[in-house]
Amino acid sequence: MKAFGVLPRRDDDTVSPFYEVEIPIPRPNPREILVKVHAISVNPVDTKIRAALPQTVTEPRILGWDASGVVEAVGDDVSDFSPGDEVYYAGDVTKSGCNAEWHCVDERLVAHKPKTLDFAQAASLPLTALTAWEGLVERMRMEPGKRILIIGGAGGVGSIAIQLAKWMGLHVTTTVSREQSQKWCASMGADEVLDHSRDLAMQCQMLGMPPFAMIANFFSTEKYWDFMGEWIAPMGQLLLIVEPQVLLRLGDPLKAKCVSIHWEFMFARSKFTTPCMAQQGAILRKVADLIDQGSLRHTMYAPAQKISCESLQDAHDLMKSGTAIGKHVLYF
């Protein structure tokens, strides 16, 4: 089968690190399904894993942890899927990714794709929907009527988080830096959109905003650490997904306010094979239902492009630029 892999890129290397390779079609283990991949989407985790590849790597690493497609075969112990089923999933970051024509994935991480979406649209959802759901619904346990600030609302996770928070009855304020991003977040349902290229605290003060019961930071933990400490309400909750690059003070004002800090890493369940691993399939089933009911929408921003070394390079460059809106999808 055809697959797209990467090798470490040296400072003086002018050749693209992406390679089209021919590799054997994988065979599913007892709990796995074999999926004929129709579409994939690119996430920041792809660029981070690519950047962390050691120079000793000689075989191209297959990236990609967002896919939609059709079940081709199932393992002996699979009970929830059959050949011909249309599915979507994020998968397991510790295993080979889905930037390939066929891909094996544990059935517990998979759900039938939304009936009202095509494969490209469906591929825009799994990783970010799981991240937002696990963080906001499971960790923070959002409650109707509360105020939430979402830092970085135009990205993949922010785009679905805005919708989830509105669906659950919260007042949503988010942050972006460009006009097209503001329009995108407004279309997702945000009540207010702040400019995070300017002083956020001053904007909150000028608008007469009270402290936020919840702050979900999907951009930079350390950049907004002091702001979050100032603007989180007593007994409030912080949700973080980006590991800080510097040491941060965990005491006051967070201690004085009894603030809870939640970390979200979508791959924790699959990486550690937790007893609740099948919850990811359950979340994706719920998301599919909400999509088909019209309560949520897909987050593909631009038309999907055909997958190639060049289109993957462009997508990775977009992720690294920090200017991506919604999700970037490629199809086979």
Per-residue pLDDT of the chain (332 residues; tens, 9 = 90+): 999 999 887 655 556 789 999 999 999 999 999 999 999 999 999 999 998 998 888 889 999 999 999 999 999 999 999 999 999 999 999 999 999 999 999 999 999 999 999 999 999 999 999 999 999 999 999 999 999 999 999 999 999 999 999 999 999 999 999 999 999 999 999 999 999 999 999 999 999 999 999 999 999 999 999 999 999 999 999 999 999 999 999 999 999 999 999 999 999 999 999 999 999 999 999 999 999 999 999 999 999 999 999 999 999 999 999 899 999 999 99
Q: pLDDT at position 13, please? A: 56
Q: Are residues 112 and 143 in the same domain?
A: no
Strand partners, 149: 173, 215
Residues 169 and 254 in one domain: yes
Is residue 6 domain-shared with residue 102, that is, in the same domain?
A: yes
Q: What is the pLDDT of residue 11?
A: 55
110 and 164 part of one domain: no
Show the domain range for 192: 128-263
d(CA 290, CA 285): 9
Which string of DSSP letters, residue by residue, matches 186-244? Answer: HHHT-SEEEETTS-HHHHHHHTTPPPEEEEEE-S-TTTTHHHHHHHEEEEEEEEE-S--
Q: Decide if 215 is inside a domain.
A: yes
Q: What are the tokens at 160?
A: 């679905």
- How high is the pLDDT of residue 139? 96
Is the same domain home to 155 and 207?
yes
320 belongs to a structural domain: yes
| φ and ψ at residue 173, rounded to 5 degrees | -110, 140
- What sign for the dihedral angle of Cα 199, 205, 208, 212? positive
Domain limit, last residue, from 263, 288, 309 = 263
- Do 66 and 113 lie in one domain? The reply is yes
Q: Are residues 147 and 58 in the same domain?
A: no
**Strand, coil or helix: 330:** strand
Instruction: Provide the CATH number for the domain around residue 48.
Output: 3.90.180.10
Into how many domains does the chain fold? 2
Pair 35, 70: CB distance under 8 Å = yes
* CATH code, domain with 155: 3.40.50.720
